[in-house]
A and B are shown apart, each in its own frame.
Chain A
């Protein structure tokens, strides 16, 4: 007969999901863009991802040790942060800068708030913002994909105009967005953007941050997360839809100056942001309606920065800004109890 009777509160069974499983799912989905990064940027991808993951994990372990708390490494959230940070950095950024960014992301972006679940801002984006603010030059130095130039030479700003010829021939350097911005500024016009260029942004054979170039790999990773129900479709859909509408409106108004909305969707960090960064549960709203608003905000702000603002790219700032208003969204869009009114 029974010698050991357990008691606990109901429910006595539980679903299969755990925090670690959520994180591992994200890592698995990130394998797609990581593979694309490896294909286009070869050894640089390996070095950068390795550096970021290891230093994020080390930073997390250290912070836990300092706080005399059990290590939280086994929830794998630090690994996710490391990969996301690596994927959003220029491929040939020096390793020391990657380490600095990683440590900042974990220590300031996450652990000072109290660790996983308590941080207000997406840690990877905090790390990236710190690097952008401190080492602007490093953060805008791009690399030609290995498939175009086996030397993977660095591209500096001066090259952009010289690269126009390449662009027209479908060989792109710098980032597509930087290119389009430049084209607008110098009144080169939208004609420089053609189908070959678009195709390059889909496959990823363009300059850009390590993991953002290949739209197809990002879409595959996003689809995996959606199928596994690790993320809801609300945020990605809201981000992409609002970005598309905004870019579409600009395009309709002046199709010579502004590039086609599809181009905006496939290039830059929009897909990476929509599927992997804006969907970070910790820093996004809790309710479905809140998620819609959050996604709309990220998409619109990104496009506002890209089209109206000074910078060619705006996903990072858009996400960070929306992270900041997430508590507000949570207040405004509370869940309404069945048969009742929202609480005050």
Chain B
């Protein structure tokens, strides 16, 4: 508070892109398609790739682990269905290009997924019944990773770490990307589950307080979570806060700044300042894992975009292909379109519609030819007019044009000196640039370049 004006909780920079959430925000979560084949990717998270623990022709049951790994930063993957392993083969992967997947053919009698009973997560849910070790162990076995997009194994995040003692947990319910509504829907429909998950995560991490940040364009979600978290008696250090609606409010560094007013060191991670950030969908998954012993095999995916006939929010088996989901939603109304895994600002456009959904896929956004025409790569590009807009919107206060032009001229060290690594790839700079320069694209390319150069060094 300053000069009597309540400053709404926010961060510096950012953009106000069109929300477009109205396409799906009133659509309740529905069961997804019963699919002909699921391809469970062996790498759905940051960290080591799992090794398959089943082989061709093996029978698997729903919830059975099909990929495991002993590395510390890793999460096992499970079969979402009862069925037979058809093969272990390469599939298109949104981030990695191609990666190994366990392809399972579901039993013909396989039914659409069922949700665990809501009663298990009543408002008076008592997390004290579970010990912190028990919770961490359940989270590890369930293969839970950050479901907001990054996919960092959750167990690593919540387990107490003597190097970085955590005192504050932030729950991310911002969902700042345009179009996406999956987190909004679960906050309304799975409120009890999220509340239980938050309490469990708090207990496991040993945090003294939990702050839930939700953008102020979702007042009903704020009210619902507030009611659920306060119904269980005293607040016990849990508070729900409204933060300003602005992209990328849901970036964890931006959310920490908005809520705590603290900056995470450039290129650093939240634990360095004693904070751990979890997404609401992750909290719900924690509750299911700990209370029901249910591994992470399904998630809510928003299928949306102007080119989709029947947009909606669906509870989908992880491993379902993009094509099956799009067809389930009445297919595409256009001949030419862009299929994006995630939202339009940070999502990844896929060329192969057989690409399977992973644990981190919150949405499929199909953009029309007209929208594509308005996007950067189709529009006339001019030289940088040095207007400074990219600097002003960059939530990390970088100099995007400088980094991008360094990458363009192959001066990777110059780009590195200008904090290329601190870029969160939010896309704000590309979004505003009047010269239509793909700043984010150059920066991403530069990062890949740098990683490759580093890899080549002798080990």
Q: Which residues of A pack against B, CB within 8 Å?
A: 1-15, 17-22, 72, 74-75, 114-118, 232, 281-288, 291, 334-341, 343-344
Q: Could you mark each residue 345-372 of chain B with 1 if its beta carbon is under 8 Å from any beta carbon of chain A, else 0?
A: 1111111010000000000010100011
Total number of A-B contacts with CB less than 8 angstroms?
192
B427 touching A10, Cβ below 8 Å:
yes
B383 touching A116, Cβ below 8 Å:
yes
B395 touching A118, Cβ below 8 Å:
no
Asked whether A116 and B338 contact (CB < 8 A) given A2-B353, A337-B396, A340-B267, the answer is no
B386 touching A13, Cβ below 8 Å:
no
Q: Specify which of A3, A5, A283, A336 is in contact with B339 (CB 8 Å cutoff).
A: A5
Least distance between A123 CB and chain B CB atoms (Å): 13
A343 touching B417, Cβ below 8 Å:
yes
B257 on interface, CB distance cutoff 8 Å: yes
A288 touching B392, Cβ below 8 Å:
yes
B388 touching A338, Cβ below 8 Å:
no
Cα A261 to Cα B264 with chains together (Å): 47
A6 touching B338, Cβ below 8 Å:
yes
Given contacts A9-B377, A12-B372, 16 further A-B contacts (CB under 8 A): A1-B331, A2-B332, A5-B336, A5-B350, A5-B353, A10-B347, A11-B345, A11-B440, A12-B365, A13-B345, A19-B382, A20-B380, A287-B399, A335-B397, A337-B397, A340-B419
**Which residues of chain B in 172-190 are interfacial with respect to chain A, using CB atoms and an 8 Å cutoff?**
178
**Which residues of chain B in 389-411 are interfacial with respect to chain A, using CB atoms and an 8 Å cutoff?**
389, 391-392, 394-399, 401
A72 touching B444, Cβ below 8 Å:
no
B340 touching A12, Cβ below 8 Å:
yes
Q: Could you mark each residue 94-132 of chain B with 1 if its beta carbon is under 8 Å from any beta carbon of chain A, else 0?
A: 000000000000000000000000000000000000000
For residue B227, which residues in chain A have a CB less than 8 angstroms away from its CB?
Answer: none
Cα A7 to Cα B349 with chains together (Å): 5
For residue A7, which residues in chain B have a CB less than 8 angstroms away from its CB?
Answer: 338, 349-351
For residue A6, which residues in chain B have a CB less than 8 angstroms away from its CB?
Answer: 336-338, 349, 372
For residue B384, which residues in chain A have a CB less than 8 angstroms away from its CB?
Answer: 117
Asked whether A338 and B253 contact (CB < 8 A) given A11-B344, A15-B17, the answer is yes
Q: Can you list 16 A-B pairs with a CB-CB distance of less than 8 A?
A: A5-B351, A6-B338, A11-B344, A11-B346, A11-B431, A14-B374, A14-B379, A18-B434, A22-B434, A114-B383, A115-B383, A116-B382, A286-B401, A335-B399, A339-B265, A340-B267
B432 on interface, CB distance cutoff 8 Å: yes
B430 touching A17, Cβ below 8 Å:
no
Asked whether A12 and B367 contact (CB < 8 A) given A118-B383, A338-B396, A343-B419, the answer is yes
Q: Specify which of A13, A18, A118 is in contact with B431 (CB 8 Å cutoff).
A: A13
Chain A residue at minimal CB-CB distance from B264: A339
B375 touching A8, Cβ below 8 Å:
yes
How extensive is the interface on chain B, given as a class? 35 or more
B377 touching A8, Cβ below 8 Å:
yes
Chain A residue at minimal CB-CB distance from B374: A14
For residue B336, which residues in chain A have a CB less than 8 angstroms away from its CB?
Answer: 2-6
Cα A192 to Cα B400 with chains together (Å): 53
B386 touching A338, Cβ below 8 Å:
no
For residue A17, which residues in chain B have a CB less than 8 angstroms away from its CB?
Answer: 389, 432-434
For residue A117, which residues in chain B have a CB less than 8 angstroms away from its CB?
Answer: 382-386, 435
For residue B264, which residues in chain A have a CB less than 8 angstroms away from its CB?
Answer: 338-339
**Which residues of chain B in 275-311 are interfacial with respect to chain A, using CB atoms and an 8 Å cutoff?**
none
Interface centre among B253, B345, B397, B441 (most CB of A within 10 A): B397
A14 touching B430, Cβ below 8 Å:
yes
B376 on interface, CB distance cutoff 8 Å: yes
Cα A114 to Cα B382 with chains together (Å): 12
A9 touching B335, Cβ below 8 Å:
no
Asked whether A281 and B387 contact (CB < 8 A) given A9-B444, A343-B419, the answer is yes
For residue A336, which residues in chain B have a CB less than 8 angstroms away from its CB?
Answer: 397
B385 touching A19, Cβ below 8 Å:
yes
For residue A335, which residues in chain B have a CB less than 8 angstroms away from its CB?
Answer: 391, 394, 397-399
Cα A282 to Cα B337 with chains together (Å): 36
For residue A337, which residues in chain B have a CB less than 8 angstroms away from its CB?
Answer: 266, 396-398, 419, 422
The 9 residue pairs across chains A and B that have the minimum distance between CB atoms: A340-B266, A11-B427, A117-B383, A9-B441, A339-B263, A4-B336, A281-B387, A7-B349, A17-B434
Chain A residue at minimal CB-CB distance from B414: A343
Chain A residue at minimal CB-CB distance from B336: A4
For residue B334, which residues in chain A have a CB less than 8 angstroms away from its CB?
Answer: 2
Cα A1 to Cα B326 with chains together (Å): 9
For residue B440, which residues in chain A have a CB less than 8 angstroms away from its CB?
Answer: 9-11
Cα A244 to Cα B373 with chains together (Å): 48
B87 on interface, CB distance cutoff 8 Å: no
A286 touching B422, Cβ below 8 Å:
no
Chain B residue at minimal CB-CB distance from A118: B383
Asked whether A338 and B266 contact (CB < 8 A) given A2-B335, A4-B335, A9-B441, the answer is yes
A13 touching B417, Cβ below 8 Å:
no
B230 on interface, CB distance cutoff 8 Å: no
For residue B398, which residues in chain A have a CB less than 8 angstroms away from its CB?
Answer: 335, 337
Asked whether A116 and B346 contact (CB < 8 A) given A13-B367, A338-B395, the answer is no
B397 touching A338, Cβ below 8 Å:
yes
B376 touching A3, Cβ below 8 Å:
no
Chain A residue at minimal CB-CB distance from B179: A13
A281 touching B419, Cβ below 8 Å:
no
Cα A11 to Cα B365 with chains together (Å): 12
Least distance between B290 CB and chain A CB atoms (Å): 33
Least distance between B10 CB and chain A CB atoms (Å): 13
For residue B253, which residues in chain A have a CB less than 8 angstroms away from its CB?
Answer: 338-339
For residue B396, which residues in chain A have a CB less than 8 angstroms away from its CB?
Answer: 337-338
A287 touching B431, Cβ below 8 Å:
no
**Which residues of chain B in 1-33 are interfacial with respect to chain A, using CB atoms and an 8 Å cutoff?**
12, 15, 17-18
Cα A335 to Cα B392 with chains together (Å): 9
Least distance between B435 CB and chain A CB atoms (Å): 5
Cα A12 to Cα B350 with chains together (Å): 12
Least distance between B322 CB and chain A CB atoms (Å): 10
Cα A20 to Cα B381 with chains together (Å): 10
B349 touching A14, Cβ below 8 Å:
no
Q: Specify which of B331, B376, B386 is in contact with A281 (CB 8 Å cutoff).
A: B386
B438 touching A9, Cβ below 8 Å:
yes
For residue B422, which residues in chain A have a CB less than 8 angstroms away from its CB?
Answer: 337-338, 340
Least distance between A116 CB and chain B CB atoms (Å): 5
B44 on interface, CB distance cutoff 8 Å: no
Least distance between B306 CB and chain A CB atoms (Å): 11
Cα A9 to Cα B429 with chains together (Å): 13
A8 touching B349, Cβ below 8 Å:
yes
B268 on interface, CB distance cutoff 8 Å: yes
Cα A72 to Cα B382 with chains together (Å): 8
Chain B residue at minimal CB-CB distance from A290: B388
A13 touching B418, Cβ below 8 Å:
no
Q: Specify which of A2, A12, A118, A232 is in contact with B375 (CB 8 Å cutoff).
A: A12
A12 touching B347, Cβ below 8 Å:
yes
For residue B267, which residues in chain A have a CB less than 8 angstroms away from its CB?
Answer: 340
